[in-house]
Amino acid sequence: MNSDSVAGAPRSAESQPARRSLLRGALTGAAALGAGLTVGASPATAAPKSRPRPATPGEALRELAAGNARWRTFREKHPDETRTVRQELVTGQHPFALVLGCIDSRVPPELVFDQGLGDLMTVRSAGEVLDEAVLGSVAYGVLELDIPLVLVLGHQSCGAVRAAVEAEESGERLPAHIQYIADQISPVIDHTKEGDARIDATIDANVRLVSSRLAAEPDLAAKVASGDLAIVGARYELTNQLVHRIA
């Protein structure tokens, strides 16, 4: 990310022991049920930190920025893929950032940020659209694994945004569940612009909308207020592979 993208960020909030114990108990039970399907599997809860990890929102942002710089200059390190790391991750995980991105095949977060196993938790939906499953996934990463950064990552030429804009302009309904995605994006369609400029502006507006909705979630808002969490909107440019912050 460039210098105006991922600067300054907050730090961590209060836990909710009862609810967290309940969730961890449920996860442990689920792991026990699935033990017969895998060899040597363990619950994917937080693990001891044997490797140095970004521990604050600011550190996490800087690490993502550095990784994106490597990616777009073809100097990737492909970190955290060794035998040792794979063995460490058997007992748990401690990702330092959660990336909520689009399903677009051209924007895989682990590649875009040159990160490896156990580094990022990724949640992907068309147009970064929120529903209960997405919200629950983000909440799990933040509240259960103490991830200090949520990055909402939009991208240039987003097909979901284009579909929403074109559906509104034509008045036609989209098939099956795709209309739900369009309905979530339509409130921020930028009517001050036309054509491709409207789509491009709406991509940014949608990132801001999703970021603000996440920041309004009470549990996440408490973590932001305490300085334990930053929720940041950003955008990936397909033309030059740069990730930059969207204010």
Mean pLDDT of the chain: 86
Binding residues: 102, 104, 155, 158
More confident residue, 31 or 88: 88
CB atoms closer than 10 angstroms to residue 32: 11
Binding residues for Zn(2+) are 102, 104, 155, 158
* pLDDT higher than 80, residue 8: no
- Give per-residue pLDDT as tens, 107-154: 999 999 999 999 999 999 999 999 999 999 999 999 999 999 999 999
Per-residue HEC secondary structure of 104-117 comes to: CCCCCHHHHCCCCC
Give the other-Cβ count within 10 Å of 175's Cβ: 7
CB 234 within 8 A of CB 245: yes
Number of Cβ atoms within 10 Å of the Cβ of 154: 28
Domain spans of the chain, in order of start: 17-245
Look at residue 213 in the predicted model and tell me its pLDDT: 98
What digits encode the pLDDT tens for the residues 28-60?
A: 333 333 333 333 334 455 545 566 889 999 999
Class for domain 17-245, per CATH? alpha beta
Q: Which tokens sit at 192?
A: 């001050």
DSSP, collapsed to helix, strand or coil, labels residue 40 as coil
Q: pTM for this structure?
A: 0.81
User: Smallest Cα–Cα separation from 5: which of 63, 53, 55?
Assistant: 63
Residue 188 has what pLDDT? 98
Q: What is the pLDDT of residues 166-198, one digit of tens each?
A: 999 999 999 999 999 999 999 999 999 999 999
